[in-house]
Amino acid sequence: MKNNRTFTMIKPDAVADGHIGAILDIITKNGFKIVALKYTKLSAEKAGQFYEVHKERPFYNGLVEFMSSGPIVAAILEKDNAIAEFRKLIGATNPADAAEGTIRNLYARSIGENAVHGSDSDENAEIEGNFFFSAFERF
């Protein structure tokens, strides 16, 4: 994956709350091009693998349970400075701290159920994109 790409998921809370369309609309209106897109559901095993870096954190088991509790939307997005630009658009991890108009400010339920994921580095964006998408699923 090139350095102008990031990976995102619309998490089970935002899918269940009916926000897929609104969130994709914000993403595209803010200049992100959709490179890959998938509606799917993580098994607990897959969710555990995806969040393996947080394995020792106290919230890990709850995070894995939540992320496998319902369908998600996974996507690869492209824009200049994609990682930083996307994290700015989603807002702080805790919606109580998320700036006005950010996706988490608008749609997150709580710090644990916070509507969207955004990669934190170019390296992780590539790893996370490869976790969900083959070369034939990117355009």
- CA–CA distance, 97 with 111 (Å, rounded to integer): 10
- Which one of 34, 112, 127, 138 is in contact with ligand RTP (CB under 6 A)? 112
Tell me if 63 contacts ligand RTP by CB under 6 A: yes
Give the dihedral sign, CA 67/119/101/23. negative
117 is catalytic: yes
Least distance from C-beta 78 to Mg ion, angstroms?
20
- The entry of ligand RTP, Mg ion, none that residue 114 binds, CB within 5 to 8 Å by partner kind: ligand RTP
- CA–CA distance, 42 with 72 (Å, rounded to integer): 8
Least distance from C-beta 63 to ligand RTP, angstroms?
5
CB 13 within 8 A of CB 104: no
* Closest CB to ligand RTP among residues 3, 121: 121
Stretch that binds ligand RTP, among 26-34, 95-103, 112-120, 128-136 (CB under 6 A): 112-120
- Which one of 25, 38, 59, 101 is in contact with ligand RTP (CB under 6 A)? 59
Tokens of 90: 């989603």
Find the helix or strand (DSSP H, E) in which 106 lies.
helix 103-107
Tokens of 100: 């006005």
**Residue 88, annotated as binding a ligand:** no
Q: How far is CA 28 from the centre of its chain?
A: 14
Angle at 28 between CA 123 and CA 102, to 5 degrees: 80
**Residue 114, annotated as binding a ligand:** yes
Catalytic residues: 117
Applying CB under 6 A, the residues found at the interface with ligand RTP are 54, 59, 63, 93, 111-112, 114, 117-118, 120
